[in-house]
Structure 1
Amino acid sequence: MVNTEKFIAKAIEEIKTSAGTDKVVMALSGGVDSSVCAVLAARAIGDNLIPIYIDTGLMRKGETERIRTIFSDIRLDIVHAEDEFLDALKGITDPEAKRKAIGERFIRVFEREAKKHGAKCLLQGTIYPDRIESEGGIKSHHNVGGMPLHMEFTKVIEPIRDLYKDEVRDVAGALGMPKEIQHRMPFPGPGLAVRVLGEVTREKVAVIREANWIVEDELVEKYRPWQCFAALLGLGTGVKGDNRIHGWIVAIRAVNSRDGMTADPLEIPFDQLMRIGSRITADIPSVSRVVYDITAKPPATIEYE
């Protein structure tokens, strides 16, 4: 387990040394990883830190408004790039290709924003499991294996790159961060794109955004899972009213874990699963079927792509 006081002091010094007098743009998503980085960097370089939140169009329901409220006391640039990301994903079905397309688009947007502020460095909340999975060929995280080879930044600073998720939460607690952020459920950097199997479209994102919100609404407060969400698997036959439909199949995923490297499916009462399924099919007319994923990690990953 990490010694939080020593780590905080070391990380602040590392950021100071790496950044020098340069301005630094950082990717702030509102999750615990990037939020911890923001606090560390603010203590290290003060006004030379430029936190940026990118709305990719692949975020959870109400996410941008929530981020605006939570970080209302800092100078946060919110960049709306929904069309850019969805255009970059057109026609792509391979999971690795999707992650790389998203990773490259993130860098290009940050490069553009950095030029506006005269910044030369990029700071991001890469953690150890991101590196393990990317370097081990399990999947390319958008902020590691999904990043383009050519970037205009002189440096990429990753102060929590050697920490596991539970250690990041410990550091967040030691920094005095709100529990809402400290214990916030993980959300993938590529967003809802990795919860849509196959090509990502506006229609599919809209469907899975609503289904994901229902799953979180039903499970987060009651069961406190390490992570829960909905994923769009494809199309299947169903019946609504007296009509046969060809509707979307949605999978529910809920797991408990310590650090994200392994995970076990959450044991959810059957009546609770039935309630979630009924809400999803009733509230989203284009969904015809809901299933519950009972696979552990390994052999599965937590996310679908």
Structure 2
Amino acid sequence: MKVERAAWCFVAPALLVIGLFFFVPVIAAFGASLTDFDLYALADIRNLRFVGFANYQRLLQLPEFWDALGHTLYFVAAGVPLSIFASLTAALLLNSKLARCKPFFRTALFAPVVTTVVAMAVIWNYLFHTRYGWVNYALSSIGVHPIDWLGDPHWAMPTIILFAVWKNFGYNMIIFIAGLQSIPEDLYEAARIDGASYWQQFRFITWPSLAPTLLLVSMLTMAGYFQLFAEPYVMTQGGPLQSTVSVLYFMYDEGFKWWRVGSASAVAFLLFVLMFIVATLQLWLGRRGGNT
């Protein structure tokens, strides 16, 4: 009993902080999603009315919401595999014995993670400028006509995906490096003695050993990419033709542009449900793969 009591005493401050700054806001937001909380309710709380699930029904009938959800799913489906591939490739290169100046490259590749989105977006807007950007200048040298990267609905989201992958893959790279360094070197030495090629070592030693790390990285990346907001907000303001409006961007417009706080809270909970389903599916697939 004394051990349990001491454990609860140590855990209590963290649980208090989590409950105060997470569960209480979540419960309050869910309550707001069941009301018509808007600008009139902000002016006078007596204008607040309970509407049940009317906000959810309205959202599910809005084409704009489904468009934003489609853009978000496109961003997640393309961005998550690219980010994992880039971070794992960088980690394998930096963990190799042939790599030189490892601290420098680790710092350089991780630097975009801790740099503000606004600063990075300004640089990328210049690089992908239609007339003066370096990317179009390089393409023109091989005979490709200039592309309006951020002004064309077909190219705006792929450009934002590349930007997000470039900015965030360094975080996953550090996690993968930690996972690679935890693999016993004896396994590789025994495999080399048996004549295993580099690909065979990766397939039968590295990849299975990184399975828990890969599951963690995929879940963190998925959760982060579902919350796409800063990149389109800074780079395209949701355009062109609303082709880069994400679910969070749509929620921002509902809550802070049109002051439909109840509707914005409903958007947040629909996104939460979607993320919960995807995360549960990832855990199920990860456990199933671990058992096989």
TM over 0.5: same fold? Answer: no
TM-score, normalization: structure 2?
0.21
> Higher strand share goes to which structure?
1
> Higher helix share goes to which structure?
2
Q: Whose relative contact order is higher, 1 or 2, with alpha carbons under 8 Å and at least 6 apart?
A: 2
TM-score, normalization: structure 1?
0.21
